[in-house]
Each structure stands twice: as C-alpha cells, then as structure tokens.
Structure 1
C-alpha cells in the first residue's frame, strides 16, 4: 500500500485500501473495518490518516493479517517513496520503498 508521512501522520493511498463488499470475503471485510477503526480520518475516495499514537496498533494489525496467509504483501506492506527519507523504526517491520 502506498504510504507517506507528513507531520507525524501516516497517510495510506486511498486506491490501495481494502474495499468493503457486502457479501464479500470475511477476511477482506474484517481487514477493511480493522484498518478503518484506528484511522484518524477514513473518508471515501481520500487517503486514510493514522496518527503516530496508533502506529503500534497498525503494525500489529498488518503483521497479523499478513501472517494469516489470506492477503498478499501488496495489501499488508506500506510502500514509501524514496523521497520520504528514513522510515520510522516503529513502522520498519511492515514497510519498504517503492
């Protein structure tokens, strides 16, 4: 998932977020609601925002869903642009460069 950090707020690109689908996969729908539940802002067609206070919960959630085997790496790994600079240590276990 494409991500960036601005002023200690993590933004996940809206096109890379899971979609809720009525009658869809239980895992994907659970993933959608889990990510949405800790987001500071989660508006439709906009990037979701995560304050630094919830990053540890986000990391644990991403690792848990990745380990389940139901979701691919592109759905559970944060991809930062090279221009971002250093990735915060707290996010490194679930992050890479684009």
Structure 2
C-alpha cells in the first residue's frame, strides 16, 4: 500500500468513525484515535461485505457501501462504549 493509500484510509476512517459516533445516542467518552481505528475497520469490513453482496461496483458514489460502513462504525462505537463503560458519569 502506498503512502497516499494509507493517508486516504485514515481520512476515510476518521469520517466513517465520526459518522458512526453521530448515529450512536448519548455521549461517547472515547478518544479520537479509537474513533479512527473503529472507522478504518468499519470501512474495510463494509467494503468486503458490499463486494460480497455485489453492491460495491456501481457507477458514481456507492451509497449502499457507505451506509454499511457507517452502520458497522456505529455498532463498533456502541460496543466500545459498552465495554469501556461511561467514564466520568456518576452512578449515585
């Protein structure tokens, strides 16, 4: 993978991760780097799923693939927030 490909993957991952965070209700106390990691993983997995389903090869922008990626990012953010808990929120 070239340097341009890596930078593009990070930028796309950041966007997908941010969109995933917006979908999940409530406040998420996770760092931006973790959002980026979740976004990159969701983008890669979403592309694999879209290609397997046959919806990745369309003319123009692939809305179905993007929707799959954002949904996966939202699931990833929700899982991470659920596992790490909501730090900083008092339960008493």
The TM-score, its normalising length taken from structure 1, stands at: 0.28
The TM-score, its normalising length taken from structure 2, stands at: 0.29
Larger radius of gyration: 2
Which structure has the highest helix share of the two? 2
